[in-house]
Chain A
């Protein structure tokens, strides 16, 4: 049987940094990736990229859900070109009451080499010092509401390392992956070092957001974005003009967006000294792992035409994005309950695999500027951010357990179809419904609608910690995918304290717009958060296999190794015990680099 030093499953944020490092340490690595290898323009044999600046690539035409037994059978959905077909491979979601489960596209990042980093908005924030130590931070706090924190299902644990431990890896990501931004104004300690490239001029509309952030007492900084603005030596990329607004949910045909393919895997394969050590097999779907005692000895996958294949790795790294990673482990448990299953305490009391599933407390405020129009189609995803609501002082003063980052969105609703798709919709599952039903948008009413909304809308968002709650979990659903494997079932709701946190930070976002734009120059401010909307899982897929100090409270140890295995690691967002007060990818990548340093000593 084919054998590699390491087999890595998933080529996104959690997987690629490990491949990058292990190959450079002289180890042989196989990356198995379910999705295709979509190329940038300069590397494509046809001279054209497989990604397009084409609105129908971000959200396609209508498909219809036909999954037996779900409440939204017959409902439409509009997937991007790199999301799975829902009738082949759905995620099933229900609230804690488990009534009326639905099939959803939420919780799939992107099934392509690079994973979610191909489609992401590329907002690349560090977490704060407190984000890593929320248990300690909250210890003995008198002002936390007891009625919310005596819930025995809430279990907050510190990360198994500190900000200072991960700081060098943040720096490494900033340098190797290729980010632009400014350090000044951030709450995070950069220890005097700055690897950011220089940000491009902000879109003029963002000046209002900046003014508002300052008016509520925040210091602002340019939102760190994983987009190169200058030639990037570590990945051999040349800079160009990335400001197009085909950013969030679009792969970048030019490769300026720093995803894990162009930043980490491609440079490795292009280096003649390293290439022989890295094997990338895309369009290969891993179905399960099997173990001999504590050693995972076989990785089973389906090749591009569906044949079963098996490979072996001295170590096996699972990084499929949290929901799919947990599912892969559970399916492996199902295959071998006696050994594999028992080692995860699968379906036994005390078993934690799939528990403490997390996304983010997320929301914000939005307004239309009156009498002014900007070209939002010439922009990246965000221009300004503030850590005001992430500071310990703010958290304490507001009786919260954790904080959040706030940033403005620049590229949203910049293009005509996106205006129609998102008109009055609150989540991926209700796209188009608002425009379709608003039958007054015709003729001159159409002009009036565009006058109001095209290039006038300004929004600020927050990304806040969600409480780790035992009840929020991933398990297997009775429905099966196109390989006959059980689908993932996500049961999740907002803890009462999440709701409080969202209300408080939403209000800050509202004030930013209120104070940032003179009255009379703006429409009514709309504000809200996911707690009141259909968004249940969205794009930040975290937890479910958290790391911690011991097997009693966690699934993985500090090195991301599954407690009762010798060679099984999980390095995507599922290891996170708290979701952090910022978008997760920077931390997922930094942690993967950290784990890679440990793995080098173990192979």
Chain B
């Protein structure tokens, strides 16, 4: 199926690009002390915002905002006096894998194209600049994706730039074992695990909640909190990714030391309680402080990420099916988040999202 190419509006491209991409200073101001190794080494802030993913609205289809995104690819030319003849983007956006042409926006440095793509997916892509394949010089997300048709000469770099659309639940940061460890840790932080909360959750009547609940798989993963963190660490908080990985590996080792007879995923709750308390006290027997100096910092970070994942907008991958918000409304009446929020999550008759 060919991709829907929509009108690319100069004003929108400038709005999305000027703050991040317009500059004269060549320094790498945004590499987070060397944590980001993108092709440009951190010259642009928030490289993860590119390509720009926005919600899509269809006046005749309330469901469309869940199912589609508008995605704008922006390619910035380094020297405005020397533009390529053509710029296009190739990847698995388009079933036929045909390049999608970008157009130069007025006489700016920017080439861009806006397309409509299904939500809930990861896309790998490259730019073809005068037919030469290059990673997106701005986006800091890239990965091996050898399985898709590679326009580059055989044997050369197989890395692709990638992004995901809203409500995506495919993991990009964590292995399964990491996800499960995280699930158990975040479960311990969140209130849903307490007795009264469990009763609440078990009694949720999906038919009363309206909208499209149930679309979200992986509900088992702590209301999507782990999925939220997975996306957060691949995008906005990429700089925390390496630390997370080190800490999860250590926790895995520690739990195995503390209980050699069970997989860390299966050890009793008390072991996670003890671990949480050790981390909180920054006194974790067996912790390798050379590998990660401040385990309590990891816990603090995890606390913030957990709260954000449980109660931010579901499109970011957490707060699955809006259950986090539902929980607050049920448990702490008269809190009514629905009235201001767009359908299908909320009930606002004005605001569309």
Q: Contact partner of B11 among A35, A37, A302, CB < 8 A?
A: A37
**B243 CB-CB contact with A under 8 Å:** no
Q: Are A38 and B18 interface neighbours, CB within 8 A?
A: no
Listed stretches A14-22, A212-220, A432-440, A507-515; interface member:
A432-440
Which residues of A are found within 8 Å of B308, using beta-carbon distances?
Answer: 56, 61, 417, 420
* CB <8 Å contact, B189 and A446: yes
Q: Is the CB of B332 within 8 A of A454?
A: yes
Once A283-B14, A373-B334, A436-B301 are accepted as A-B contacts, the answer to whether A303 and B311 lie under 8 Å apart by CB is: no
Q: Which residues of B contact A61 (CB under 8 A)?
A: 232, 236-237, 308
Residue of A nearest to B49 (CB): A81
Q: Which of A246, A439, A450 has the most CB of B within 10 A?
A: A439
Asked if B307 and A416 sit within 8 Å, CB to CB, the answer is yes
Smallest CB–CB gap between B150 and chain A, Å? 31
Q: Decide yes or no: A444 and B332 within 8 Å by CB, A47-B57, A416-B311 being known contacts.
A: no
Known contacts: A48-B57, A56-B313, A446-B190. The answer to whether A304 contacts B232 by CB under 8 A is no
B300's nearest neighbour on chain A, judged by CB, is: A436
> Is B262 positioned at the interface, with any CB of A under 8 Å from its CB?
no
Whole-angstrom distance between the alpha carbons of A326 and B234 in the complex?
Answer: 39
Chain B interface size, under 10 / 10 to 19 / 20 to 34 / 35 or more = 35 or more
Q: How far is the CB of A491 from chain B (nearest CB, A)?
A: 24
CA distance A61 to B312 in the complex (A): 11
Partner of A53, one of B14, B307, B324, B341: B341
User: B303 contacts which chain A residues (CB < 8 A)?
Assistant: 435-436, 439, 441
Q: Does B337 contact A (CB under 8 A)?
A: yes
Interface-side segment among B26-34, B128-136, B137-145, B202-210: B26-34
Q: Complex: how many Å from CA A48 to CA B64?
A: 13
Contact call B336/A85, Cβ cutoff below 8 A: no
CB interface residues, B 306-343, toward A, < 8 Å: 307-308, 310-313, 316, 324-325, 328, 331-337, 339-342
- Closest chain-A Cβ to B68's Cβ sits at a distance in Å of 11
Whole-angstrom CA separation of A283 from B15 in the bound complex: 7
The yes or no answer to B46 lying at the interface (CB within 8 A) is yes
**What chain A residues lie within 8 Å of B334 (beta carbons)?**
373-375, 455
The 8 Å CB contact of B188, one of A240, A373, A443, is A443
B304 and A435 form a contact (CB under 8 A):
yes
A60 to B311, CA, bound (A): 14
| Residues of B66-99 contacting chain A, CB below 8 A | 70, 76, 80
Which residues of chain A in 340-376 are interfacial with respect to chain B, using CB atoms and an 8 Å cutoff? 373-375
The answer to whether A458 has its CB under 8 Å from any CB of chain B is no
A98 on the interface (CB 8 Å rule)?
A: no
Note all chain A residues with C-beta closer than 8 A to B280.
Answer: 439
Give the residues in chain A near B217, CB-CB below 8 Å.
none
Which of A66, A305, A373, A481 is B108 in contact with, Cβ under 8 Å?
A: A305
Q: State whether the Cβ of B123 lies closer than 8 Å to any Cβ in chain A.
A: no
Instruction: Tell me the complex Cα distance, A229–B99, Å.
Output: 50
Among A37, A63, A480, point to the contact of B15 (Cβ < 8 A). Answer: A37
Which residues 175-197 of B have a CB within 8 angstroms of A? 188-191, 193-194, 196-197
Proximity string of chain A (362-404) to chain B, C-beta cutoff 8 Å, 1 when within and 0 when not: 0000000000011101100000000000000000000000000
Does A244 touch B at the CB level, under 8 Å?
yes
Whether the Cβ atoms of A444 and B351 lie closer than 8 Å is no
Known: A254-B351, A436-B301. A447 touches B331 (CB 8 A): yes
The answer to whether A62 and B240 have CB atoms under 8 Å apart is yes
Query: Quick one: which of B46-73 are within 8 Å of A by CB?
Result: 46, 54-57, 59, 70
Interface presence of A270 (CB below 8 A): no
Residue A442 lies at the interface, judged by CB distance under 8 Å to chain B = yes
- Please indicate the chain A residues that have their CB under 8 angstroms from the CB of B80 in the complex: 305, 307
Q: Bound complex: CA of A244 vs CA of B18, how far in Å?
A: 30
In the bound complex, what is the Cα–Cα distance between A6 and B154 (angstroms)?
Answer: 59
User: For window 19-39 of chain B, which residues contact chain A by CB distance below 8 Å?
Assistant: 19-25, 29-30, 32-33
A111 adjacent to chain B (CB < 8 Å): yes
Q: Is A85 a contact partner of B59 (Cβ separation < 8 A)? A: no
Minimum CB distance partner of B110 in chain A: A305
C-alpha spacing A61/B240, complex, angstroms: 12
Smallest CB separation, A458 vs chain B (Å): 16
Q: How far is the CB of A143 from chain B (nearest CB, A)?
A: 49
Q: Residue among A38, A87, A302, A305 with the most chain B CB within 10 A?
A: A305
Check if B352 sits within 8 Å of A41, measured CB to CB.
yes
A378–B336 touching, CB < 8 Å: yes
A74-92 residues with Cβ-Cβ distance < 8 A to B are 74, 84-85, 87-88
- Which residue of chain A has its CB nearest to the CB of B334? A375
Q: Is A483's beta carbon under 8 Å from chain B?
A: yes
Chain A minimum-CB-distance residue to B279: A439
Could you tell me which residues of chain B, from 127 to 178, have a CB within 8 Å of some CB in chain A?
none
CB distance from A241 to the nearest CB of B (A): 6
A245 to B55, CA, bound (A): 22
Our pick among A56, A305, A432 for the contact of B21 (Cβ within 8 Å) is A305
Is residue B120 contacting chain A, with contact meaning CB distance below 8 A? no
User: Chain B nearest CB: distance from A183 CB in Å?
Assistant: 29
CB closest residue in chain B, given A454: B332
Nearest A residue (CB) for B35: A64
Q: Which residue in chain B gives the minimum CB-CB distance to A451?
A: B332
What is the chain B residue whose CB lies nearest that of A306? B22
A46 within 8 A of B: yes
Q: Is the CB of A442 within 8 A of B188?
A: yes
Instruction: Tell me if B17 counts as interface (CB < 8 A to partner A).
Output: yes
Q: Cβ of A253 < 8 Å from any Cβ of B? A: yes
CB distance from B30 to the nearest CB of A (A): 6
Considering only CB atoms, which chain B residue lies closest to A44 in the complex?
B57
Residue B211 at the chain A interface, CB threshold 8 Å = no
Residue of A nearest to B24 (CB): A483
For window 257-316 of B, CB contacts with A under 8 Å fall at 276, 280, 299-301, 303-304, 307-308, 310-313, 316
| Interface contact B336-A375, CB-CB below 8 Å | yes
Provide the A128-139 mask, 1 if CB < 8 A to any CB of B, else 0: 000000000000
**Cβ-closest chain A residue relative to B10:** A304
A87 to B23, CA, bound (A): 12
Interface assignment of B350: CB less than 8 Å from any CB of chain A:
yes
- Given A55-B312, A66-B33: A85 and B45 within 8 A (CB)? yes
Q: In the complex, what's the smallest C-beta–C-beta distance from B194 to chain A, in angstroms? A: 4
Q: Report whether A87 and B15 are in contact in the complex, using a CB–CB cutoff of 8 Å.
A: no
Q: Are A36 and B335 in contact (CB under 8 A)?
A: no
How far does the alpha carbon of A45 sit from the alpha carbon of B301 in the complex, in Å? Answer: 38
Which A residues lie within 8 Å of B313 (CB)? 52, 54-56
List the A side residues contacting B54 at CB < 8 Å: 46, 48
* CB of B9 closer than 8 Å to a CB of A: yes
B22, B188, B280 interface centre (most CB from chain A within 10 Å): B22
B18 in contact with A305 (CB, 8 Å): yes
Instruction: Give the residues in chain A near B353, CB-CB below 8 Å.
Output: 48, 52
Q: How far is the CA of A484 from the CA of B25 in the complex (A)?
A: 6
Cα(A536)–Cα(B232), bound, Å: 31
Compute how far the CA of A104 lies from the CA of B181 in the bound complex, rounded to whole angstroms. Answer: 36
Contact A74 B340 (CB under 8 A): no
Check if A165 is an interface residue, CB within 8 A of chain B.
no
Contact B336 A304 (CB under 8 A): no
Question: Please, what's the 1-or-0 string for A406-435, where 1 marks a CB less than 8 Å from any CB in chain B?
Answer: 000000000111001000000000001001
A416 contacts B108, CB within 8 Å?
no
- Complex Cα spacing A87 to B36, Å: 15
Q: Is A148 an interface residue (CB 8 A)?
A: no
Other A-B contacts than A307-B80, A439-B300, 7 sampled, CB-CB below 8 A, are: A47-B352, A62-B240, A283-B14, A303-B22, A437-B300, A447-B197, A481-B25
- The contact sample of 15 A-B pairs, CB cut-off 8 A, is A36-B15, A53-B340, A53-B351, A55-B312, A63-B45, A240-B350, A244-B340, A282-B15, A283-B14, A283-B17, A283-B18, A305-B110, A307-B108, A439-B299, A454-B332
Q: Which 6 A-B pairs have the closest CB atoms?
A: A244-B340, A36-B15, A283-B18, A436-B300, A61-B236, A304-B14
- Which B residues contact A (CB, under 8 angstroms)? 7, 9, 11-12, 14-25, 29-30, 32-33, 45-46, 54-57, 59, 70, 76, 80, 108-110, 188-191, 193-194, 196-197, 232, 236-237, 239-240, 276, 280, 299-301, 303-304, 307-308, 310-313, 316, 324-325, 328, 331-337, 339-342, 348, 350-353
